[in-house]
Amino acid sequence: MIISGKELSATLKAQMAETVATFPEKYGRVPHLVVILVGNDPGSVSYVTGKVKACEATGIKNTTIRKPETITEDELLALIRELNEDDSVDGILVQLPLPKHISEAKVIETISKEKDVDGFHPLNVAALWQKQPCTVACTPKGIIRLLKAAGVQIAGKRAVVIGRSNIVGLPVAKLLLDENATVTIAHSRTADLASVTHSAEILVVAIGKPRFVTADMVSEGAAVIDVGVNRDPQTGKLCGDVDFEAIEPKASVITPVPGGVGPMTICCLMENTIECFLRRQ
Ligand code: GUN
């Protein structure tokens, strides 16, 4: 079964639109997300376009602030501080990656925890690991939603996460653990990776290498979640981290690229923006 993140996110966005439509009467305004886009990287421009469309579909007010590649770190941090102080702004997202002369860590920690819709702020990350209320990073949150919607039972399962980034690998492992899965975190340098992935009843791959996971690495009946967004070196088309065509017949459920995890990330960003708005009321 192919799990469509596109369909699930459309359903969830329609529900959010209904909720947001009640806000003007209740709170006198709708949530407001500000996205800062530095430079013209085509990938980043396309991500930001997706976010704008999702805001429009859910009725969330959105402002995109575009800055040239040449903006200094101090200028960017000053802009973020200004938005932190602006009561009409509920969520702030700075599109990553940033030019090399700007510290992503400094940018992330300058966004106030309360407006950090990405869930990247160290205080949100710490709160997640301490089981305190927090904003959960969008991709990990979307993955758990997808698994549940597909009817995959997580509790008691052996889950393997390939990838250990702060943005996906580590938080998704933590969320699976909180759902009572037994979790192994592997990576591109794991010795005999196939012997580890064979044990996976749930396999999450977030490594950023086209078709890194081959059919011989996956056991019959596994639920396979592909977080990769890569360009196929041969065809130039979008492809995931798993060899979809070869693995789909073996998997109980699998996410396609595009149309799997990606739309869920943006959907959860809308949800996080609404949550930040409601916490500030
Ligand atoms: N670049 C690619 N994905 C993301 C994301 O989820 N958040 C931010 N801020 N930048 C990204």
Q: What is the span of the domain harbouring residue 244?
A: 138-262
**23 CB within 6 A, ligand 1:** no
Neighbours of 198 (CB within 10 A): 15
- In a shared domain, residues 250 and 163: yes
In a domain, 17, yes or no: no
Report the distance separating Cα 110 and Cα 28, nearest Å. 28
265 CA from centroid of ligand 1 (Å): 9
pLDDT of residue 256: 98
pLDDT of residue 71: 98
In a domain, 281, yes or no: no
- In a shared domain, residues 58 and 154: no
CATH of the domain at 32: 3.40.50.10860
112, 128, 151 - which closes a domain: 112
In a domain, 96, yes or no: yes
- In a shared domain, residues 106 and 190: no
Q: 3 φ, ψ to 5°? A: -90, 120
Which residue ranges of the chain lie beneath pLDDT 70?
none
pLDDT of residue 126: 98
Whole-model pTM over 0.95: yes
112, 127, 147 - which closes a domain: 112
The residues carrying an active-site annotation are: 51, 95, 118
Q: Are strands 91-94 and 32-38 parallel, antiparallel or unpaired?
A: parallel
138 CA from centroid of ligand 1 (Å): 9
pLDDT of residue 103: 98
Query: 3-class SS at 218?
Result: coil
Contacting residues for 222 by C-beta, under 8 A, at least 6 apart: 200, 201, 202, 203, 250, 251, 252
If we measure between CA atoms, which residue out of 196, 245, 204 comes closest to residue 228?
A: 204
Question: Count of domains in the chain?
Answer: 2
In a domain, 14, yes or no: no
- In a shared domain, residues 82 and 196: no
pLDDT of residue 20: 99
pLDDT of residue 168: 98
